[in-house]
Structure 1
Amino acid sequence: MGEDHYKERKLKEAMFYYHSLQRRSGRFQRFSKGAQDSITDKIPATVHSAITAAIRQMIELSLTSSNYIYPIQVEEKWSFEQREKEVRKVINRYKTTARLEGAGTGAGGILLGMADFPLLLSIKMKCLFDIGRIYGFDVTGFSERVFLLQIFSATFSSGETRVKLWEEIRHWNDVSGAIEDVNWRVLQQEYRDYIDLIKMVQLLPGVGAFVGAIINGKFLEQLGTAAMHAYRIRMLK
C-alpha cells in the first residue's frame, strides 16, 4: 500500500510539473528572451564555436559510445521509492562535482571558462545515464539514449520547443519507435541560447568562480528534476 501511495503521489507531482511547463511565457520571460538575444549577438564567435562543438561531440558520444557509462550499483529488487532515493543521491553527487568544476574554471578567466562548456556537458550526460540505469532501463540501447537526449533537450529549451519536447516525452512509450529523428540542430541552438547569457557572466574576472559554482549546481538540479519527472510519467502514467 505504501509503495502504491508513493507512486500515485509522485505521478501527480510529475503531471503538475508537466502542465506547469505548458503555460505561455509571461511578459517578463519574453522580455528576458529578447534581452538575451541582443546580448548573445555580442558574445565572441570563439565562445559560440566552442559551445556548438562541445554539444555536437556530446550528441555523438551519447548515441555511439560508452563514455558516459560508469560502474554503479543497481538492484533489480529495489522498489520505485528506493530507486528514487538512489537517483537523488546521484543528482546531489553530480551537483557537487559540477559546482567544483564551475568554480575552478570560472576562476581562470575566459580560457578556462570556455573549457567549462564541454566539461559541464559531460557531467550532465553522465548524470542522465546513471539516472536511466537506476530506474531500470538499458542505456546501452540506441532508443534509450535518444530518450536521455530528449530529456536533456527539453530541460534546456524554452517556449514552443520545450512544450513540444515534453509532449513527446509524455507519450514516449507510444512514439519512441518513430522518434529517432530528433532535430539535433534545434537541440544545439536551444541549449546554446539557454546558457549563453548565464555562462557569459562566468567569463568575467572576479565573479567567474562564484557564478560558475552556483550556476553549474542549478543546471544539474534542473536536469535531475526534469529526468525524475520524465521517468515518473513514462513508468507510472
Structure 2
Amino acid sequence: MSTALEKEWKRLLAKEEKLLFSADNKKETKLDEKIKEITGKIEEKIPEKLEATLDTAFYKAFLLIFEKGTGVIEKTFKGEELQLEFQVNDFRVDKKATRRSLRKVDAAGKKSKLLNSVVTTAEGIGLGVLGIGVPDIPVFLSMLLKGMYEMTASYGYDYNKKEEQILILRMITAGLADGAEKRKADRMVEEWMGFVPATEGLTFEEEVKRASEALSNAMLMAKFIQGLPVVGAAGGMSNPIVYQKVSQYAALKYKKRYLAAKRQGV
C-alpha cells in the first residue's frame, strides 16, 4: 500500500479526532460567558412559535428542493466537469498515490466551498439589512445544498440518489452538533459509510426532520435578529458561519470515505 496514502489517512484521522475532541472539551472563556449572558437576554424576547416556524420552514424547503429544486441548483454549477475532473485525478491516484495526487482530488471541493461561503455572506447580510429573516431560508438552503452537491460530485458520487441525500442530511446534522451530540451525530455518519455497525434506521422524512432541527437550532437567534431592520445584518452573518461548519465537516468525511475506498483497493 502507498506510503503517501497511509500518511494522508493518518493525518485525516488526527484532524477528525481533533474536531470531535474540541467539541467534547470546549471550555468557556470570559468572552463566551458574556456572549451567553447577552444571548440569554435576546432569547427571552424570541417568540415561542419562532422555533417551530423555523423547523417547519427548513423541513418544507428540504423536501421541495430534493423533489423539484435539484435540477435548478444543477444549473448553477458544472457537475459534469467536476465529475470529469474527479475521474482524471482519481486515475492519477491509481497510477501513483502521492501527497500531490491525493490533494488534487479534494482541490475542486475547496474552491467551491470558498466561493459559496462568500455568496452566503452577501445573501445573508443583504436580506438582513432589509429586515428579512425566515423568508430567506429556501435561498440559504439552496446555497448550502449547492455546496454539498459540488462536494459530492467532486468525489465522484451521485447526489441524485436518495442514499446520498441521506448522507448529506446526516452530515448537516453532525456538522452543526456540539459536545456529546456531535459524537452521536458523527456516529450516524460513520454508520452510513460502513465504518461502524449500524444501530438505527430512519426514514428519509425523519432524516430531513433531524437536519431541519439542527439548522433551526443553529440559526434561531440569528433569524430573529435578522428579521429586525438595520440590525438585521448581524443576524445575516450566521449564514456563512453555518455554511462553514457544515462544509468543513463534510469535506473531512468525504475525503475519509474516498481514502478508505483507496486503502481497500476500490
Residue 77 of structure 1 pairs with residue 122 of structure 2: no
- Aligned residue for 2:12? 10
Deviation of residue 123 (structure 1)? 0.9
- Deviations along 1:81-120, one digit per CA (max 9) or x if unpaired, are 21311111101111111011112101101xx223222211
- Deviations along 1:174-195, one digit per CA (max 9) or x if unpaired, are 2579644345444333321221
**TM-score for the superposition, normalised by structure 2:** 0.72
1:194 to 214, 218, 225: 218
For the aligned residue pairs, the C-alpha RMSD in angstroms reads: 3.2
1:148 to 165, 168, 175: 168
How far, CA to CA, are the matches of 1:176 and 1:136 in structure 2?
A: 24
Residue 220 of structure 1 pairs with residue 243 of structure 2: yes
Q: Residues 191 and 136 from structure 1, CA distance in 2 versus in 1: closer, same or farther, beyond 3 angstroms?
A: same
Q: Residues 208 and 31 from structure 1, CA distance in 2 versus in 1: closer, same or farther, beyond 3 angstroms?
A: closer
* Structure 1: gaps spanning 5 or more residues: none
Q: Residues 217 and 183 from structure 1, CA distance in 2 versus in 1: closer, same or farther, beyond 3 angstroms?
A: closer
Query: Which structure is larger by alpha-carbon Rg, 1 or 2?
Result: 2
Identity of aligned residues (%): 19
**TM-score for the superposition, normalised by structure 1:** 0.80
Matches within 5 A, 1:151-166: 151-166=171-186
1:56 to 56, 59, 70: 59
- Equivalent residue pairs, number: 233
- Aligned residue for 2:154? 134
Deviation of residue 35 (structure 1)? 7.8
- Aligned residue for 1:117? 137
Q: Residues 36 and 163 from structure 1, CA distance in 2 versus in 1: closer, same or farther, beyond 3 angstroms?
A: farther
Decide whether the 8 Å contact of 2:61 with 2:137 is kept in 1: no
1:97 to 106, 119, 122: 119
